[in-house]
Amino acid sequence: MSQPPLSAEPDLSTVDLRTETVRTERLALRPHRAGDADAVFAACQDRETLIWLPALPSPYTRADAADWVTRLAPGERADGLGMPVAIEAAGQLVGSAGVHLRPGRLGPEIGWWTAPQARRRGYAAEAAHALAAWALRLGAARVHAFVDVDNTASAAVARRAGFTEEGRVRAALQRRDGSWADALLFSRLPGD
């Protein structure tokens, strides 16, 4: 199969984002389903998760989780804005990740979080690596990830997923308290 020409964004003409699943040796990166709501709710009660994902409502309710898995995540896929995925290992939801398909010169953005009980097992790095490879295989010239400079665990995930640290972007991420934090910009290119 020939590679599509490189552009800032992947060529999705042959992909049905509503159902697309990416598989690795240990993981299924699949669309969220209604049955994921309890696991998403439980994971989003974690203080660390709430610190690094300031867009999450706080408190995070069961209704928020149900809305994410049944309306928001599927809607993002259906509208072609991204491919949010449930990270499933051995039949259990262990986190969430995604390819955000917003136009721009940095290409698709890769993001991830893992449930507290699933951390330090390599799931986030495996998922981020696989999603980056998926977008690059579809012709994206590059993919990127922004990581809060204080989030050393996510910076380590990016490195393990094959991303290269490009530099520091000042005041790029808004925190829950409304302040702005510097971010580390990571990227992967087709040859990485």
Q: Once rounded to an integer, what is the mean pLDDT over residues 72-87?
A: 97
Which position has the token pair 């790095």? 125
Contact 184, 146 (CB under 8 A): yes
19: Cα within 13 Å, side-chain hemisphere:
3
Q: How far, in whole angstroms, is CA 87 from its chain's centroid?
A: 10
The residues pairing with 186 across neighbouring beta strands, listed in sequence order, are: 145, 165
Q: Is 14 a residue whose pLDDT tops 80?
A: yes
pLDDT of 103 reads: 84
Structure pTM?
A: 0.94
Q: Give 85-120 pLDDT, tens digit per residue.
A: 999 999 999 999 999 998 889 999 999 999 999 999
The mean of the pLDDT values for the chain is 95
Q: Give 152-185 pLDDT, tens digit per residue.
A: 999 999 999 999 999 999 999 999 999 999 999 9
Tell me the CATH class for 22-188.
alpha beta
